[in-house]
Homo-oligomer: A and B are copies of this chain.
Amino acid sequence: MVLKFPHFIHGGDYNPEQWLDRPDILARDIELMKEAHVNSVSVGIFAWSHLEPEEGVFQLDWLEEIIDRLYANGIYTVLATPSGARPLWMAHRYPEVLRMSRNLTRNRPGVRHNHCYTSPLYREKVRLIDTALAERFGHHPGVLVWHLSNELGGQCFCPLCQEAFRGWLKDRYGSLDALNKAWWTDFWSHRYSDWSEIEAPVPSGETSCHGLNLDWNRFVTHQTVDFARWERDTVKAAAPDLPVTTNHGESYESINYFKYKDVVDIVSWDSYPLWGRDPDEREIGQNTAFAHDVIRSIKRQPFMLMESAPSATNWQEVSRLRQPGIHMLASMQAVAHGACSVQYFQWRKSRGASEKFHGAVVDHYGGSDTRVFQEVKAVGERLEKLDALLDGCPRPKAAILYDWENGWAMNDAAGPRNLGMHYLETVMAHHKAFWKLGVSTDVIDMECGLDGYRLVVAPMAYLLRAGIADKLRRFCEDGGIVLGTYWTGIVDETDLCFLGGTPGDGLGQLFGLRSEEIDGLYDGQYNLLRPLDGFLPREEYRLTELCELCKCSTAQPLALYGRDFYEGMPALTRNAFGKGTAYYLAARGEQALLDDLTALLCREAGIEPDLDADLPDGVSAIRREGSVTAVFLQNYLPEEVTVSLRRPYRDFESGEEVGSQLTLKPFEVRILEER
């Protein structure tokens, strides 16, 4: 295990610098942490103006006192570098550290995350404070892990960044000719005759060169990750043994998190599901399962749940209170999916500023006799009993392909449906089918290997990169099952269209067909998929948004279109390829289609559900495999529900056997071991 800590971490963000004039409150915090079974807190996030109140004047004593006292009370520290926000003196003295926005003006000092990742001066300032922290605390026995900066993200359009972008392009393309060809700049006379002519895509300039846009997005990820790597190298220089992480937000658009794989020792993220938005919590439950699976798949290892709300947030459209039981359910769900921690933003509510109403373990009121505090405490107590499960992790046999760069390219490409291609939604719909079956899945990108999987679902693989076409073909040749869909294999890695027919790069052979046209449908318009020979259980399924017109070469049609001028053309096909089989779904289908198709593919791939049971809709199960293997059975329904088990199981916590009819209370989670 990456973290040298033999328990699930339970704790959260803690900002003692806001209460240094209130020693009574700081003392009370320690008592309350113990009461809540908190064994760790995250400190130093956004503390820079206290750590270096004047340029070059470092004041770390107060922090040492805090860390020491916590440690003396058995509470460990997740130590942040403070680079997520800079002191105002720095922003005013060195405007270079501030970002320039998309309209090419320099931001004013303010908010957080408003710094240029390229600026040498900012990097140097960060190096100095990080080094000071590392030297002072890098060997402290109470410090568990570095928390680098905070939710790194955003973009900067300053001249330094643009120059770095040009340098990155030179490395990538070698020559302007190569770049001109890759970006197809002859269109609209956009041929670059000098590197200096290249600029970031901004609203007042070039916005419609897809290759430029795509590479800019790649560069933004590159530069952001490079900043994290540079902070990592800085702290490792002084304290080589302490592991590092950086906490991600729940975002599938800006920074490609898979690029952090080799930068951090352990992946972590901040989870803020919209519990309570709908009376039916299943949707939120599945969305969150998906997010956990993405995060775990980055390294295929356990991860930290660095932040979560112990009650409502304050920044969502509406701050619904969580119903009793939801907090426990959400915490156990994270653990089920591979988390080794349950941490909160935040321990104690700030008295002022923009997050003063964000849910916290300790309210402004200050007592522990609140519903929220008691629910947090219950999670702490439960986690303490799960030590034996700590080294476990889900080990899926199925993977879903979700690729950030593919998403950037697909959403940017003016194409069949500018009203919304819904790539992410489509991937999540495929994931939902697995979640309902109780089959755990990884969510991988095109750079990942496919080893260990028996089934790969690759929806809308528009842009092919990182040898994914080859990998899929080899995977299938070796006996794997592949499901591909419409809008696959359209462009190469610079967004240039494949000539000679699509799916390109050899995927046409894999699927045994050629896509001739694609019909975009307006919202409200639909077609039908009609299975042949009872291949799927229903007589017809509804299709929307995108319908491809395909011509089969070696593929065999399994279902046909039921409407419009392409009625009777293939809508679902199967192609034998090597020892495996490649399925192709030519149109966006309703959930029931994905559910039925996924069940069928799992059976064909010999993948069993994680729990041998009939799962009612709204109950999911996921298995953590380790020195002790256990299945987390989760009820997302607000009512009691009974699950029929097909095999004998024992309750991990009580040690008692459970009968074949297991009744779950509303939102209850049970942890089961096979007998």
Q: Which residues of A contact B (CB under 8 A)?
A: 15, 17-18, 46-50, 53-54, 82, 85-89, 92, 101, 103-112, 182-194, 196-197, 199, 201-202, 204-211, 277, 311-312, 314-321, 323-324, 349-357, 364-366, 370-372, 413-419, 494-502, 514, 516-522, 549, 564-565
Is A193 a contact partner of B53 (Cβ separation < 8 A)?
yes
Contact A185:B353 (CB < 8 A) given known A191-B53, A500-B365: yes
- Alpha-carbon distance between A201 and B108 when the two chains are bound, in angstroms: 10
Minimum C-beta distance from A213 to chain B (A):
10
By the criterion CB–CB under 8 Å, are A315 and B418 in contact?
yes
Across the interface, A199 reaches (CB within 8 A) one of B105, B109, B196, namely: B109
A108 touching B202 in the complex, CB below 8 Å, given contacts A82-B189, A88-B190, A88-B192: yes
Contact of A189 among B87, B192, B355 (CB under 8 A): B87
The 4 closest A-B pairs by CB, nearest first: A184-B352, A108-B205, A110-B206, A187-B353
Cβ contact within 8 Å between B49 and A416: no
User: What is the bound-complex CA distance between A104 and B108, given in angstroms?
Assistant: 10
Copies of this protein, total: 3
Q: Is the CB of A351 within 8 A of B522?
A: no
- Partner of A18 from the list B182, B186, B517 (CB cut-off 8 Å) is B186
> Cβ of A352 and Cβ of B190 under 8 Å apart?
no
Contact B188 A112 (CB under 8 A): yes
Q: What residues on B are CB-neighbors of A193 within 8 Å?
A: 49, 53-54, 87-89
Q: How far is the CB of A594 from chain B (nearest CB, A)?
A: 22
| Closest Cβ–Cβ distance, residue A579 to chain B (whole Å) | 30
Chain B residues within an 8 Å CB radius of A18? 184, 186-187
Contact present for B87 and A191 (CB under 8 Å):
yes
Could you tell me if A497 and B349 are in contact, using CB atoms closer than 8 angstroms? yes
Please name all residues of chain B whose beta carbon is closer than 8 Å to the beta carbon of A205 when the two chains form the complex.
107-111
A49 touches B414 (CB 8 A): no
With A205-B108, A415-B357, A416-B312 as contacts: A189 and B85 at CB distance below 8 Å: yes
Instruction: List, in ascending order, chain B residues with CB within 8 A of A371's CB.
Output: 516-517
Complex Cα spacing A207 to B18, Å: 20
Nearest Cβ distance between residue A632 and chain B, in whole angstroms?
A: 24
Contact of A319 among B210, B416, B514 (CB under 8 A): B416
Determine if A364 and B498 form an interchain contact, defined as CB atoms under 8 angstroms apart.
yes
Candidate in A318, A323, A502 with the most chain B CB atoms within 10 angstroms: A318
Do B365 and A501 have beta carbons less than 8 Å apart? yes
Interchain CB contact under 8 A, A312 and B520: yes
Q: Would you call B418 and A186 a contact (CB within 8 A)?
A: no
Nearest CB in chain B: distance from A16 CB, A: 10
- Cross-chain contact of A204 among B105, B314, B416 (Cβ < 8 A): B105
Closest to A317 in B: B419
A49 neighbours in B (Cβ, 8 Å): 185-186, 189-191, 193
Given the complex, which residues of B lie within 8 Å of A496, measured CB to CB? 351-352
Minimum C-beta distance from A492 to chain B (A):
9
Least CB distance from A167 to B in Å reads: 19
For A324, give the chain B residue with the smallest CB separation: B565
9 A-B contact pairs sorted by A residue (CB < 8 Å): A92-B196, A105-B204, A110-B205, A112-B188, A312-B519, A318-B419, A364-B498, A364-B500, A366-B499
Chain B residues, CB < 8 A from A415: 314, 319, 357
Residues of B within 8 A of A314 (CB): 414-416
Chain B min CB distance to A87 (Å):
6
What residues on B are CB-neighbors of A323 within 8 Å?
Answer: 564-565
Smallest Cβ distance from A154 to chain B, in angstroms?
13
Q: Which of B108, B196, B204, B353 contacts A108 (CB 8 A)?
A: B204
Q: Quote the shortest CB–CB distance from A465 to chain B (angstroms).
A: 15
Measured in the bound complex, the distance between the Cα atoms of B353 and A352 in whole Å is 48
Which residue of B191, B418, B549 contacts A318 across the interface (Cβ within 8 Å)?
B418
> Which residues in B have their C-beta under 8 angstroms from that of A356?
184, 187, 210, 413, 497
Q: Which of B186, B211, B514 contacts A50 (CB 8 A)?
A: B186
Q: A413-B356, A418-B315, A516-B370 are in contact. Are A101 and B204 (CB under 8 A)?
A: yes
Bound complex: CA A516 to CA B368 (Å): 12
What is the CB-to-nearest-CB distance from A357 to chain B, in angstroms, rounded to a whole number?
4
A322 to B201: give the CA distance in the assembly, Å.
Answer: 33
How far is the CB of A376 from the nearest CB of chain B, in Å?
A: 14
* Most chain B C-beta atoms within 10 Å of own C-beta, residue among A105, A184, A370: A184
- New A-B pairs, 12, CB < 8 Å, besides A87-B193, A110-B206, A319-B519: A50-B191, A88-B190, A92-B196, A108-B202, A109-B197, A109-B205, A111-B188, A190-B353, A316-B418, A321-B549, A323-B565, A365-B500
Q: Which residues of B contact A50 (CB under 8 A)?
A: 186, 189, 191
Nearest-neighbour CB distance to chain B for A276, whole angstroms, equals 8
Q: Is the CB of A520 within 8 A of B319?
A: yes
Assess the B110–A46 pair: CB atoms within 8 A.
no
Tell me whether B199 and A108 are in contact (CB under 8 A): yes
- The answer for the CA separation of A197 and B54 in the assembled complex, in Å, is 14
Minimum CB–CB distance for A525 against chain B, Å: 8
Most chain B beta-carbon contacts within 10 A, residue among A104, A108, A324: A108
Chain B residues with CB under 8 Å of A192's CB are 88
Task: Give CA–CA (A374, B364) in the complex, Å.
Answer: 63
In the assembled complex, the Cα of A351 lies from the Cα of B504 at a distance in Å of 13
| Known contacts A48-B189, A349-B497, A370-B516; A89/B321 CB under 8 A | no
CB nearest to A316 among chain B residues: B418
Give complex CA distance A92, B189 in Å.
Answer: 14
Asked if A365 and B183 sit within 8 Å, CB to CB, the answer is no
Which residue on B lies nearest to A183, using beta carbons?
A: B352
Cβ–Cβ < 8 Å partners of A418 in chain B: 315-319
A417 engages B191 (CB within 8 Å): no
- Chain B nearest CB from A66 CB (Å) reads 14
